[in-house]
Chain A
């Protein structure tokens, strides 16, 4: 009876006590555990940061690698191959100069090519291809020369600053015991940018 009369006070005091006990058990008894948990959170956050940094570094490395390769590709396309209008005449002049230097001057030259070069795209099995952005031009000529002159001409072509590839060499003897050296050369030109072509129209 007496307890019932004071029940409100007792309930309030009981609730206050229970709340304090819970807080005590949570924060005081497990104090170290909570500190450790905080340290764990910090370690976890640092791990996440390291992972994000690594991810960003990987992505940026990929970008840098792409840019580096692209710059090298552009260098080959722009500097070594260049466009046909810019380099073709220089190439022909160089070949004639080398012929002069080796004392073996051809009577005629044959020029072929100019088609855009296609590379097969993986998985298409020849049904399609990627435009590489370069075209191949062939230059063939026959020259009457001694073996030493032929070797000198080949050597000069190999050392030339022009990007010229010796594709095939054929030899035959002439009645005067001289060699007929048939050289098939090729070079590559970068496709002209669309903008340039448009500007000329």
Chain B
């Protein structure tokens, strides 16, 4: 006799337990991670709040400073630096001329000129720094006057590069000569000039 197998199910039987196990596992894992992530997020937001505020503040300050810098740079660009530079150089040159001490130069010349030589004229070419070129006319009673004067200038550290450009014997027995020399007012004075 053949046994009768009664199957009264409306749908075929399927074992969903593995699916539910995976769903539960995924859900638990997701829930755990989500809670952890939420905690992490709030902690991150909380811990970096001060830093983010500081960054925003600093960036704002930097923006303001940059704007001020740009304004100042624009103003600098608008300045006529070349004109001011020219005026400054010009003024410095004229102040150097004004500051030139003729009394000191004459004192120095008095100390080196021989008794038979006298100064007729002196004309400086002013420079802001460095030696001052002088063009000088002298009159001497003897023919040695020019040589003596050059030698004495060479022995004085305040004079440099003494060079004659002309010597003339006059009818009255005197000699006139022209010397160019570099004058260094700030050079140390000699204790004794060759006489």
Report if A and B associate in a common complex: yes
Inter-chain CA distance A58–B85, complex, in Å, is 19
Q: Is the interface of A mostly helix, strand, loop or mixed?
A: helix
* Docked complex: B91-143 residues within 8 A CB-CB of A: 91, 94-95, 97-98, 100-103, 106, 118-124, 137
Inter-chain CA distance A14–B23, complex, in Å, is 9
Residues from chain A with Cβ under 8 Å of B84 in the complex: 66, 69-70, 73
* Docked complex: A114-150 residues within 8 A CB-CB of B: 117, 119, 121, 130, 132-134
Inter-chain CA distance A138–B64, complex, in Å, is 55
A17 touches B90 (CB 8 A): no
A45 CB within 8 Å of chain B: yes
B119 touches A49 (CB 8 A): no
Which of A92-100, A105-113, A162-170 forms contacts with chain B? Answer: A162-170
A41 CB within 8 Å of chain B: yes
B106 touches A171 (CB 8 A): no
Residues from chain B with Cβ under 8 Å of A59 in the complex: 69, 72-73, 75-76
Question: Known: A27-B41, A35-B48. Contact between A52 and B65, CB under 8 A?
Answer: yes
Inter-chain CA distance A5–B12, complex, in Å, is 14
A90 CB within 8 Å of chain B: no
A-B CB pair tally, cutoff 8 Å: 169
Which of B13-21, B150-158, B177-185 forms contacts with chain A? Answer: B13-21
Quick one: CB contact mask for B1-42 with A, threshold 8 Å, 1 for yes? 000000000000011101100110011011001101100110
Residues from chain B with Cβ under 8 Å of A5 in the complex: 19
B66 CB within 8 Å of chain A: yes
Residues from chain A with Cβ under 8 Å of B89 in the complex: 119
B54 CB within 8 Å of chain A: yes
Inter-chain CA distance A49–B15, complex, in Å, is 67
A49 touches B23 (CB 8 A): no
Inter-chain CA distance A188–B36, complex, in Å, is 86
Inter-chain CA distance A168–B79, complex, in Å, is 38
Residues from chain A with Cβ under 8 Å of B52 in the complex: 38
**Closest Cβ of chain A: how far from B53's Cβ, in Å?**
10
Among B27, B61, B87, B122, the most chain A Cβ lie within 10 Å of the Cβ of B87
Residues from chain A with Cβ under 8 Å of B98 in the complex: 163-165
A46 touches B119 (CB 8 A): no
- Residue among A2, A55, A165 making CB contact with B19, cutoff 8 Å: A2
Residues from chain B with Cβ under 8 Å of A17 in the complex: 26, 29-30, 33
A66 touches B122 (CB 8 A): no
Identity of the chain A residue whose Cβ is nearest the Cβ of B41 in the assembled complex: A27
B194 CB within 8 Å of chain A: no
Inter-chain CA distance A28–B59, complex, in Å, is 27
Question: Known: A17-B29, A73-B84. Contact between A34 and B102, CB under 8 A?
Answer: no
* Docked complex: A151-177 residues within 8 A CB-CB of B: 151, 154-155, 158, 163-172
Question: Known: A10-B23, A168-B122. Contact between A27 and B44, CB under 8 A?
Answer: yes
B residues near A, CB below 8 A? 14-16, 18-19, 22-23, 26-27, 29-30, 33-34, 36-37, 40-41, 44, 47-48, 51-52, 54-55, 58-59, 61-62, 65-66, 68-69, 72-73, 75-76, 79, 81-84, 86-91, 94-95, 97-98, 100-103, 106, 118-124, 137
Closest 3 CB pairs of A and B: A59-B72, A52-B65, A20-B33
